[in-house]
Amino acid sequence: MQWAAIQITASSNKEDNYRKISHWVEKAVQAGAKNIVLPEYWNWLGRAEDKIKIAETMEGQSIQFIQKLAKKFFCRIVAGSIAEANGKKPPYNTSVTVHPDGKLGPIYRKIHLFDAVVGQGYVESTTTSAGEKIVVENLRETKLGLAICYDVRFPELFRSMASRRAEIFAIPANFTAVTGPPHWEVLIRARAIENQCFVVASDQTGLTGAGWEAHGHSMIVDPWGEILAEAKREEGIIIASLDFEKLKQVRRKMPVHEHRKM
């Protein structure tokens, strides 16, 4: 099963971002991928204080755009994340899987918000509402767990998804260039190894419309922690074939889920 991660430098111009995503989705499908993960805030990255003005519902133009792409190319797209309108409250940071028929899977709203004094500092909770629900979607051939960026630092979330029989984690991200070099690869591989799951992590890259540098280096990692594909800093796609027989073998030889005591 071929999975792809798309890596872009998103701006505050939605139409420009749509064009980039359309281009790379087509390239990914041409290369054989039928499952594609987009980065966090793929549709819009601008000033945090503008987020509530540009937020959309899940019936809005950005998700409709992904539905059209999924139907056109008959592929499954994890639609990264968008700012989801939340009435008069700050929007959610929301991810959803769009299926080849255009139908939406369960909606995941980012649980852990990035309130951290690193680099220039960022307090996501001032402009974003936190979600509460863990999402593991039952696909025809596997189970997919959804997380977003800062969530990757909370292993209990991923263990909860693994306990719900997730075999793949999709992690859209906008990881900073400050934390990326020491932490990104370590965290992605750790979540794969400790849960014996595949991880498809799609990151923003370069100087985005948010005004700070994103790390790039999108990755696809197998349940043994081996990197199957990795981007560098340029925009583009990475693709890997996920071998579920290897996943079963890893879990059989080292049955950590059965050995859990807590």
Active site (catalytic) residues: 40, 110, 149
How far is Cα 219 from Cα 6, in angstroms, rounded to an integer?
Answer: 10
Phi, psi angle pair for 210, to nearest 5°: -75, -15
Report CA dihedral (168, 174, 178, 179) to the nearest 10 degrees. Answer: -30
Tokens of 242: 């996920």
Q: What secondary structure letter does DSSP report for 231?
A: -
How far is Cα 77 from Cα 69, in angstroms, rounded to an integer?
Answer: 9
* AA letter at 112: H
CA angle 166, 218, 61 (to 5 degrees): 80
How far is Cα 135 from Cα 129, in angstroms, rounded to an integer?
Answer: 17
